[in-house]
Amino acid sequence: MRKTLCAAPDSGKDLGGACTLAAQSMNPDRRRFLLSASVLVAGAVGTARASAPGPMRALKPMLPAQPIAPVTTPTPPALVKPALFAQARAALERHPQIVNRHRMALVDFAAPSSEPRLHIVNLLDGTTTSYLVAHGSGSDPDHSGWLERFSNAPGSNASCSGAFLTADPYVGKHGPSQRLQGLDPTNDNAMSRAIVLHGAWYAEPTLAGARGKLGRSQGCFAVGDSVRSQVMAQLGRGSLIYAAKLVV
């Protein structure tokens, strides 16, 4: 092979076709080796460019799924007065702090204590479970079994009306119980008066059958000891209890 020197690019010397001549007279094996090496270098550069991190793009935050609105029953259940049901539905819409929107309890204090008048309504399918519930002694001073009046006053021992929010469960002198928060001016002293949902022996069906009426509470919603856990489980926290006396 003939040796021909090529000037460096910045040497300022023009050797004409000397470099071309050298390339043409190069050993074919060496020429193939250099060609393969150049292909590998070019590929590596392309790969590096392709894998280099590009500019960071802001990712859209993941939004929580929108809650599905419950399908509320358009008509009141058979055991519930339409006017009472309408008032309870209005209270459910009026108080956004009631987070349990698919179930509510209605207490029809126009009925005597000997009749199931605490109605827990599933608003998704309209099913209703009804229980006996006692009223306060201050609402029925003669113990007739009928609620005569409401009171929100401390020390009255009377039941109060309006919308209640089921709050924290606790264990007290009546066993497992549930605190209630009054949401209306007619019952906003419920928490300070310790108006709660609890079980009681005097709210059992056997007593209603024997005497024709239940015993009386100090203003609390007292249900039978035998159903207390079931009622509390159905309502849970954040549910509506709406109490009223509608004479229609």
Give the CATH number of the domain where residue 208 resides. Answer: 2.40.440.10
**37-66 burial: b if 16+ Cβ within 10 Å, else e:** eeeeeeeeeeeeeeeeeeeeeeeeeeeeee
Say how far apart CA 114 and CA 212 lie, in whole Å. Answer: 6
30 and 127 housed in the same domain: no
Per-residue confidence at 73, pLDDT binned at 50, 70, 90?
A: low
Comparing CA positions, the residue from 194, 196, 199 lying closest to residue 229 is: 199
Flag whether 77 is in a domain. no
Contact call for residues 184 and 205 (beta carbons, < 8 A):
no
Flag the least confident range among 11-15, 59-63, 111-115, 137-141: 59-63
Comparing CA positions, the residue from 75, 98, 100, 99 lying closest to residue 86 is: 75
Flag whether 69 is in a domain. no
Say how far apart CA 43 and CA 45 lie, in whole Å. Answer: 5
| pLDDT over 80 at 205, yes or no | yes
Flag the least confident range among 7-11, 125-129, 180-184, 223-227: 7-11
Distance of alpha carbon 99 from its chain centroid, rounded? 6
pTM (predicted TM-score): 0.71
What is the domain extent for residue 27? 18-49
Query: How many separate domains does the chain show?
Result: 2
Domain boundary among 32, 49, 66: 49
Query: DSSP state, 217?
Result: B
| pLDDT over 90 at 39, yes or no | no
Average pLDDT over residues 200-214: 97
Q: What are the tokens at 125?
A: 């399918």
22 and 143 housed in the same domain: no
pLDDT of residue 77: 83
Mean confidence (pLDDT) of the chain: 80
93 and 44 housed in the same domain: no
Flag whether 58 is in a domain. no
pLDDT of residue 74: 62
| pLDDT one-digit tens code per residue, 154-202 | 999 999 999 999 999 999 999 999 999 999 999 999 999 999 999 999 9
